[in-house]
Structure 1
């Protein structure tokens, strides 16, 4: 038994894609060697069409012939559902429980030295001292953890999952918030803010501007508190979960320490997760309204800047 597959041949032409789509090795879209994503400012040769898909030529790739949906090139096939938006419907309910994930940047870079935000220059002249002595923003995550990618189109999800964050759409926010975000989120250099918005922020119940404004405010409140000062003073030393939770109780109110969770790796504190409730802009109030949490990590070293080994 054999099958005959009929292709519609079209004249070879070079076209610019209208979407940043994944380019697959096969018709079934089950494999994408090197995670190739079409670039909108680059033309591609279209070889043929078959059942709503185009076979194109991607120079420099192996295999060079790839399959993409025809809507990647045809603007008449782009619907409102396929367009990524930085805004959320105003009738969407605000997330009631969230985790504010803050990273200790020095520890993060010990195991992620290749990241842009982890490269240190001999001529930095003190630049980067903030991220080396404070917690930095990883993300603000609506709960439960399964609540991700709300009303996001398939192509954007694929871009995000393949780490093509720089190809995600630019996000709208006030200049003041953007400047503050870059300060408290070193991962901005790698497009982390785009990833955090598309995966988590779209489920927050607001637009991207409010989402990041809240996340930045909470991060700054933590760093400007006695908790932030404590971690700066303890750089190079061991800190226990019991110490951290007691300090939260003294700083933000009795019981808030039970809303704090530590993340550790190789004996270092890598992140601190704060379980927040809703209905306030005050970090202490949000912690008091958050859910109590358990912490597998019972303590660790507050890592110094620079690579230790």
Structure 2
């Protein structure tokens, strides 16, 4: 993907964990300083040159990495920016100090080598719901009143959202009126989301909350910090959902409807589908309903550049491990229990 948020400043780290996925280095560690020239800006995304931060001419910025060898951009630290890590074009200033590019950077990963587990900060979180459990606590929602046992969301994970990290990355270039409407739950007052017909059709199936304008909320709060267009944001989120719903994780949930499921079992299913250690990037939330603990949501940590073709296994392997909030619960069935 080509994005707007901190969640995209790193490329895909394809870690060979279990699935022996190929490694694609997109960040070459460097040291030294970058002295900005006139009219220099640094960006969160190289591809889109998004969210520019002006650099002060003559000011020295610490270099963290290059994007390749030889580098076209330096990853620098810009004090006061959020996030501080930004990409600056190498020809917009001068580098001083540090080892020459290609030398002295022994920590750089080479193709075919395993990257350290969790070597990147988590850049995006994919939040998915088990819709029957959500509807136990929100039965008056339109999408819950219309839910049936043969609808997609009765036995598949549904899309809650794709959230750039850190969580304070929200409402990018959104006006105060829209922010107020969103925070107050007046999602029907938010701008309509324009999508290509195939994307809209798939989104309505995988995100039943579109019946309550959930897509307007997710784009306003999170998508605006991820991409320039809703089509790209939702298209790439849907690609991740296809991978998840085509996995052993979805099969496990569907086979255990009405039964208890432990997080250890879920973690093993993630490892089976997406490589050893994938389950360490998953957090599970549960809700209490009529005295029972029901599994309501999974949040999945991702790092790397997301495109419709990106491997979910690689994105998970590159993210930071997390801890679950719930050790296990009931896989809820459609209807009030």
- Flag the structure with more relative contact order, 1 or 2, with Cα contacts below 8 A and sequence separation at least 6: 2
The residue that corresponds to 2:323 in the other structure is 294
Alpha-carbon offset, residue 306 of structure 1: 0.5
Taking the aligned partners of 2:174 and 2:188, their CA distance within structure 1 comes to 17
Q: Give the ranges of 4+ consecutive aligned residues of structure 1 lying more than 6 Å apart after TM superposition.
A: 93-96
Taking the aligned partners of 1:246 and 1:303, their CA distance within structure 2 comes to 20
Name which one, 1 or 2, has greater alpha-carbon Rg: 1
TM-score, scaled to structure 1: 0.67
In structure 2, stretches of 5+ residues that fail to align are 1-46, 52-85, 87-120
The residue that corresponds to 1:268 in the other structure is 294
Alpha-carbon offset, residue 268 of structure 1: 0.3
User: Which deviates further from its counterpart, 167-176 or 257-266?
Assistant: 167-176
Query: Aligned to 1:118, which of 134, 144, 153?
Result: 144
Q: Deviations over 1:230-269 (max 9, x none)?
A: 1100101111111111111111011111001100011000
Aligned residues: 216
SS of the residue 1:216 aligns to? helix
Taking the aligned partners of 2:199 and 2:334, their CA distance within structure 1 comes to 26
2:125·2:302 contact (CA, 8 Å) conserved in 1? yes
User: Which deviates further from its counterpart, 150-159 or 93-102?
Assistant: 93-102
2:122·2:320 contact (CA, 8 Å) conserved in 1? no
The residue that corresponds to 1:244 in the other structure is 266
Alpha-carbon offset, residue 205 of structure 1: 3.4
SS of the residue 1:100 aligns to? strand
TM-score, scaled to structure 2: 0.61
The residue that corresponds to 1:215 in the other structure is 237
Query: Aligned to 1:90, which of 48, 69, 72?
Result: 48
Alpha-carbon offset, residue 120 of structure 1: 3.6
SS of the residue 1:147 aligns to? coil
Alpha-carbon offset, residue 96 of structure 1: 6.6
Query: Aligned to 1:105, which of 131, 136, 149?
Result: 131
Alpha-carbon offset, residue 139 of structure 1: 0.4
Alpha-carbon offset, residue 90 of structure 1: 3.4
Q: Per residue, is there more helix in 1 or in 2?
A: 1
SS of the residue 1:149 aligns to? coil
What does 1:47-62 align with in structure 2 at a 5 Å threshold? none
CA RMSD of aligned residues (A): 1.9
2:122·2:301 contact (CA, 8 Å) conserved in 1? no
CA change 1:164–1:247 in 2 (3 A) is same
In structure 1, stretches of 5+ residues that fail to align are 1-88
Taking the aligned partners of 1:120 and 1:270, their CA distance within structure 2 comes to 18
